[in-house]
A and B are shown apart, each in its own frame.
Chain A
Amino acid sequence: MDRDDVVSWQRRTHDVDAFDSLHPSDTEEAHVLAVDDSLVDRKVIERLLRISSFRVTTVESGSRALQFLGLDEDKSSGHFDESSALREIPVVIMSSEKVLARIDRCLEEGAEEFIVKPVKLSDVKRLKAYMRRDSRESNKSETGNRANANRKLREEEEEEEDNNYDESDLSASSPSPPACSVSSSPPSTSSSCSSFPSSAAALAAMDERRL
C-alpha cells in the first residue's frame, strides 16, 4: 500500500481504532441515505453520521428515497433492474417501536439491523465497525469494482402518514431475500442481531402498513 492511500485513509477515518488494519476500500467514505419524516430526527441522525465520517443525504420519505436512488416508478418502465448494484444496499431500520414480531419480520424481509430510537453515537459506531468488517470480507471474495463502489447504507424510519409507498416500491428498495444482500456478511442475520447487545435488548419495528 503506498503512502498516499495511508494518508487519505487516516484523514477520512481519523476516529478508527489504531489497530485496524489498513485496507484500500477504507479510503472511501461510505454514503448513507437517511430516511425519516421527522425534521428533528433528520438533523440528529445527520450529525451522528457526519461526526462518524460518513457522507450523508437525508430525505423525508420513502418516495423521496426512491427518487434519490433513481428508482421511482415514473422514470422506470415499471421494471426494476434486477442486477442493479442498488439491490446490494444494506438497509438498517430505525424505530421507536418495540414489537418483537415486527423486528423479526423486518429481518426476514432483509433488513441488516435495527436501531432503536433515540439513536446514539454508539449505535452509529457499531454500524461503522460492522460495515468495515463487512467490506473487508467482501473484498476477499469480490473483484475490484465492487470494493471501490460507494456503498450506501440506508437507514429507514417508519412513517406515520401513508404516502404512496406501495408494495412494489418496498420490494425494490430493500434487499431481496435471503436477508443479507452483502456477500460475506456475518453468518446469519439473527446472529448478527444478537451480537449487538443494544439491538437485541431494544427492539424496533416497521409500521405494519408498510410491510
Chain B
Amino acid sequence: MDVAQLKRQLFEYTTLLFHEGFLDEQFTQLQQLQDENNPDFVVEVVSLFFDDSERLLNELAKALDQQNTDFKKVDAHVHQLKGSSSSIGAQRVQRVCITFRNYCQDKNVEGCLKCLQQVKHEYSLVKNKLETLFTLEKQILAAGGSAPM
C-alpha cells in the first residue's frame, strides 16, 4: 500500500473509533500536543495508561475477591481508572467507571463484579484499537510518509 492509501486507512479507522465512542475529543487534544520535538507523546501517554489500567484492574479483582469488600478501596481504584481513561479520551472505559462507582456507593458487590467484567472488556477493546492505530501510524512512517498527526 502506498502512503496515501495508508493515510486514508488511518483516517477512516480513527474516524470510526470516534464514531463508536471508543475515543473522544480528549484524544484529539493529546494528538495536538504532539509535535516534531515530542513525536511519541501520544504513544507514551497511552502506554502509561495501559500500565496503570492493568495495575488497577488487578487491584480491583483482588479487592472484590475479599470476604468483606472494602468499597472505599474499590471506589478509589475505580476513580483513578475513570480519571486516567478520561485523560486520554477512552470514553467507553470512563463511562463504565461511572456506573461502577454508583455500585460502590450502593455497596452492591454483584453490581461491582458485573462492572469489573464490563470495564475489563472495554479496556481490552480500546487497547486493541489503539494498538492498531499506532501500528498504522508506524506503517505510514516506514513507508516514508510524514508524521500522520
Mark A residues whose CB is within 8 Å of B.
37-41, 43-44, 47-48, 51, 96, 117-121, 160-161
User: For the side of the interface on B, what is the size category?
Assistant: 20 to 34
B87 located at the interface, meaning its Cβ lies under 8 Å from any Cβ of chain A in the complex = yes
List, in ascending order, chain B residues with CB within 8 A of A161's CB. Answer: 76
Decide: A96 and B86 in contact? CB cutoff 8 A: yes
B131 located at the interface, meaning its Cβ lies under 8 Å from any Cβ of chain A in the complex = no
Q: In the bound complex, what is the Cα–Cα distance between A48 and B35 (angstroms)?
A: 12
Q: In the bound complex, what is the Cα–Cα distance between A43 and B26 (angstroms)?
A: 14
B135 located at the interface, meaning its Cβ lies under 8 Å from any Cβ of chain A in the complex = no
Please give 13 more A-B residue pairs, beta carbons under 8 A apart, in addition to A38-B84, A47-B45, A160-B76: A39-B52, A40-B49, A43-B44, A43-B48, A44-B33, A44-B88, A51-B35, A117-B86, A117-B87, A118-B87, A118-B89, A119-B87, A161-B76
Knowing A43-B45, A121-B33, say if A38 contacts B83 (CB, 8 Å): yes
Q: Among the listed B29, B30, B80, B84, which residue makes an inter-chain contact with A160, where contact means beta carbons less than 8 Å apart?
A: B80
**Closest beta carbon of chain B to A41's beta carbon, Å:** 5
9 pairs of A and B residues whose beta carbons are closest in the complex: A40-B84, A160-B76, A118-B26, A118-B87, A47-B33, A118-B86, A40-B48, A40-B49, A40-B87
Decide: A47 and B41 in contact? CB cutoff 8 A: yes
Decide: B87 and A38 in contact? CB cutoff 8 A: yes
Decide: B29 and A120 in contact? CB cutoff 8 A: yes
**Closest beta carbon of chain B to A114's beta carbon, Å:** 16
Query: What would 20 A/B residue contacts be, using CB atoms closer than 8 Å?
Result: A37-B80, A38-B80, A40-B45, A40-B48, A40-B83, A40-B84, A40-B87, A41-B84, A43-B48, A44-B33, A44-B87, A47-B38, A47-B41, A48-B33, A118-B26, A119-B87, A121-B29, A121-B32, A160-B76, A160-B80
**Closest beta carbon of chain B to A191's beta carbon, Å:** 28
Knowing A38-B87, A40-B88, A121-B32, say if A160 contacts B79 (CB, 8 Å): yes
